[in-house]
Structure 1
Amino acid sequence: MQFTKWHGLGNDFVIVNGMKEHIADYQKQALAICDRNFGIGADGLVVLLPSAIADFKMRIFNSDGSEADMCGNATRCVARYLYENGLINKTVITLDTLAGIITPELVFKDGVLQTVKVNMGEPRLRPVEIPVVGSYEEPIVNMPLTVEGETFTITCVSMGNPHCVIFVNDISKINIAHIGPKIETHSLFPKKTNVEFIQVLNRQTIRMRVWERGAGITKACGTGASAALVASVLNKHTDRQATVKLDGGDLLIEWADNNHIYKSGPAVEVFRGEYLL
């Protein structure tokens, strides 16, 4: 099977052209391919397929075999992959995902690619849409959640996938590997959740570390960064445009007047190869 390996700020993916390559069991192959010792190694497997409603269909499988609704970093990588491999000649691309139609744009200056900007759509704040268990009617903003005797204040956002955003004073003191999976699988979240820990640096800058649903600690998360900005604005910590500093680098996130989130950042191809199924 021919594949190509990409990353967006260290959040890495194996991309496969599903219109040429056949994968019998996506979940099983994601587990094998993403294994960093016995496979290629990645946070996720991305399969590109035909779509009746968009330019292409994008399916994303986490390293634990579960299917993700959407992934912002994978979207940037896919957009550049499609353009540079001649699969599309447009710089604005539509992708059919489980979270709906996502529209990445390749931004050039003097013929050189500067960044990939993704319209992430509108944030969903109604608890039933995230989803969150309980009879909550209003958005969950700065609500206490106790996990193993420790109380966190959480803000919940969906960017097509669920996010639980937590503001902390010192992000370096958070044991993400321990507390991340506890919150991910908390009974409050029937479909589990991504967990973002945020330290506010100033009105235009936040520091974020993430425990991704189905993948664990990753160096970046595009939907997470988008949810983090939404939560920061709702909690009056930042302006509607800010730089999100992740372990793998920086993303520029804007919550525009049309209520859509726009995310800009890099996408890098690492290598190509043939995976022996």
Structure 2
Amino acid sequence: MRQDTWHPADFVKYEALGNNYVVVDPRYAAFAPLPENVRRVCDRNRGLGADGLLYGPLPAADGFRLLTFNADGSECGGSGNGLRIFAWYLRESGHTEADVMTLRTPSGTSTATIVDADSGVVRVGLGTARPDSGAVGARGPARTMLREPLDAAGRRWEAGCVRLGSPHCVLPLADAPADAGLARRVGAAVSSHDLFPDRINVELLHVTDRENLSIEVFERVAGHVPASGSGAAAAAYVAHARGLSGPRVTVHMPGGRVTVDIGEDGAVSLTGEVGPVLRGHWAPRLARSLSG
């Protein structure tokens, strides 16, 4: 990573396993992260096209603060891939030369580590998993939701629900890995289920062995996506909590793979590659459409 090749830009777009975010730095931004602006930037026909927008770094007493937005303009508590992308941006743009940095989001504080500066491997702590109904945002009495009976898409599931930055519903499959068609059908039914009034992200999980898992992801905003960092972490946590896998696993997704580590205290970390896609400046016509 060579700092002398960096030039200020209005935006930078990165991808992590096909999950892509636009980073907008307040130093260069000509607009506020209003919902309508986020939607315009992320629009795949009239904007840059992205799964979301990362806005920062913002002033903080220590570390680096950021806001994460979904493509529909809603604010997201935290994204595993988004945090890794933002850490890489901080190093690449010269905000820091440190290998370890503190990231602050509305969901809490995370530690990010540049594991390999040549290949873009970044590890980020996602905090402690919370499998309780209050954290997940589920209806009904307070309860742990690691084995939650759920009727959806024509069958009964034994779902594992957990919050890691955002809420996730993990659906284990016994026989074979899911495909995209199954993920879209089941994901749409579960994400909008009455049990989850604010909707939920869905992961269809297949355990290959104690060190390897595969998932298909349906996000509550973006729909079927090639990968999700926090989704991979949620699936690994549920598999480990049920005794199906060890504390370190490789999670395989259509977009690629990540490593998830689970501590004895339930703290989860995520390691994988990040890559730049493009950086540039707003065309005058688009810039005029981005307000305040």
Sort the TM-score into its range (normalised by shorter chain): over 0.9
**Cα RMSD (Å):** 1.8
Aligned-pair distance for 1:155? Answer: 0.5
Residue in 1 that maps onto 2:134? 128
Gapped runs of 5+ residues in structure 1?
Answer: none
Q: Is the 8 A contact 2:179 2:216 kept in 1?
A: no
| Equivalent of 1:164 in 146, 166, 169 | 169
> C-alpha separation between the residues in 1 aligned to 2:10 and 2:56?
13
Q: Residue 93 of structure 2 aligns with which residue? A: 85
In the comparison of the two structures, how many residue pairs are matched?
Answer: 274
TM-superposition CA deviations, 1:92-125 (whole Å, max 9, x none) = 11111121111111013xx735620111111012
Q: Counterparts of 1:106 and 1:173 in 2: how far apart (Å)?
A: 32
Q: Which amino acid aligns with 2:171?
A: I
SS in 1 for 2:31: coil
After superposition, what is the alpha-carbon deviation per residue over 1:116-145, rounded to whole angstroms, capped at 9, x for unaligned? Answer: 0111111012221222211133x2123221
1:20 offset after TM fit, Å?
2.7
Residues 212 and 218, structure 1, Cα contact 8 Å, conserved in 2: yes
Cα contact 2:15–2:277 (8 A) shared by 1: yes
Runs ≥4 residues deviating over 6 A: none
- Identity between Structure 1 and Structure 2 (%): 31
Counterpart of 2:48 in 1: which secondary structure? coil
Alpha-carbon separation, structure 2, partners of 1:68 and 1:152? 27
Matched ranges for 1:79-228 at <5 A? 79-108=87-116, 112-113=118-119, 115-137=121-143, 139-168=144-173, 169-170=175-176, 171-172=178-179, 175-228=182-235
Moved more, 115-124 or 174-183: 174-183
Determine helix, strand or coil for the equivalent of 1:42: coil
Q: Determine the C-alpha separation between the residues in 2 that align with 1:100 and 1:115.
A: 22
For residue 190 of structure 2, give the secondary structure of its aligned residue in structure 1.
helix
Instruction: State the SS of the aligned residue for 1:76.
Output: helix
Q: Distance in 2 between matches of 1:231 and 1:61?
A: 26
Task: Find the partner of 1:48 among 37, 46, 56.
Answer: 56
**CA–CA distance in structure 1, aligned partners of residues 32 and 102 of structure 2:** 26
**1:51-80 deviation per Cα after TM superposition (whole angstroms, max 9, x unaligned):** 334422211111122211000101111111
* Whole-angstrom distance in 1 between the partners of 2:132 and 2:71: 29
Task: Map Cα deviations across residues 171-210 of structure 1 (whole Å, 9 max, x no partner).
Answer: 1275222331221122212322110011111111010110
- Pick the aligned partner of 2:262 from 255, 258, 272: 255
**Equivalent of residue 250 in structure 2, options 243, 249, 253:** 243
Q: Report matched runs for 1:51-90 at 5 Å.
A: 51-90=59-98
Rounded Cα–Cα distance in structure 1 between residues aligned with 2:32 and 2:93: 24
Q: Can you list the C-alpha shifts for 1:220-268, whole angstroms capped at 9, x where unaligned?
A: 1111111101100122211111000011101000102343111100010
SS at 2:38 equivalent? helix
CA contact under 8 A between 2:88 and 2:120: conserved in structure 1?
no
Structure 1 counterpart of 2:100, one-letter code: V
| Deviation readout 1:12-42 (Å, 9 max, x if unpaired) | 0111102331323521122111122221111
Match of 1:17 among 6, 12, 25: 25
- Structure 1 window deviating more from structure 2 (65-74 vs 55-64): it is 55-64
Distance in 2, Cα, partners of 1:74 & 1:125: 22
